[in-house]
Amino acid sequence: MMPLSALAGQHDYGYMHGHHRPSTTEASRPAGTRAPARARLVLHDSRGSGPLVGHSFRGLDRALARARALRLDRDLAAGRPPEASWLLAARAQDLVAVRTRQVLAGDWEHLLRVARRPVPHQSPLAAIRRDRVTAAEPDIREMVTRLRAPLPVGARGVATASNLLGDGAGPLYNRASRRDLAADVRRATAQLDPSVALFPAGA
């Protein structure tokens, strides 16, 4: 799943509107009052195995998906395709939005700054495994660059990057975790490539 986006002509959500003929209602609206076009996504039809098709979601769809964001993000990060349900697809649309990616990139940059300075033991930030963050900094910065780029990205990669920040049992916070933070970050960066989702190996 990926957005139809371009370097030019993007709106606030980071998508390029699909080309369509305005309806009679749209054409009759006074200039400057036309309803905004919905963002469109490229999805595989038939739950991920069919041809590529365009799809769009209303604000209500996205609001319902946000209410279940934690579970949906875990499913997307685990590799469940957005086409599996309309809630997953709506959540994926929000994740790949430029605005969402900018906020997530900023959170990772803040993490890098925190890792370099002393933090009181009673602070929640004291739980961060600074040694692992420092060791993974080059990989984190590469991921941040990909998140900030005004280019299409895969929803799975954004979900993975987000889950890493919020996983209290993961390598970012848990001393006992045997997972390699740098490897997890590199995996998220690789998953940001939209061609991985659209044209998986062996397809």
pTM above 0.85, yes or no: no
Among candidate residues 13, 34, 10, 14, the one with its CA nearest the CA of residue 22: 34
- Is residue 177 situated within a structural domain? yes
Total of domains in the chain: 1
Instruction: Give the whole-angstrom CA distance, residue 35 versus residue 6.
Output: 22
- Is residue 122 situated within a structural domain? yes
Summarised one tens digit per residue, pLDDT across range 20-67 is 333 333 334 444 444 333 444 545 444 444 443 445 566 677 788 888
- Is residue 49 situated within a structural domain? yes
- DSSP for residue 176: T
Residue 47, both tokens? 């739950």
Residue 109, both tokens? 């940059």
* Secondary structure element (H or E) that encloses residue 194, with its range: helix 194-198
- DSSP for residue 43: E
* Boundaries of domain holding 86: 2-197
- Is residue 83 situated within a structural domain? yes
Q: Decide if 1 contacts 41 (C-beta within 8 A).
A: yes
- Is residue 31 situated within a structural domain? yes
- Is residue 203 situated within a structural domain? no
Residue 8, both tokens? 């030019």
Summarised one tens digit per residue, pLDDT across range 94-143 is 999 999 999 999 999 999 998 988 776 666 666 889 999 999 999 999 99
- Is residue 202 situated within a structural domain? no
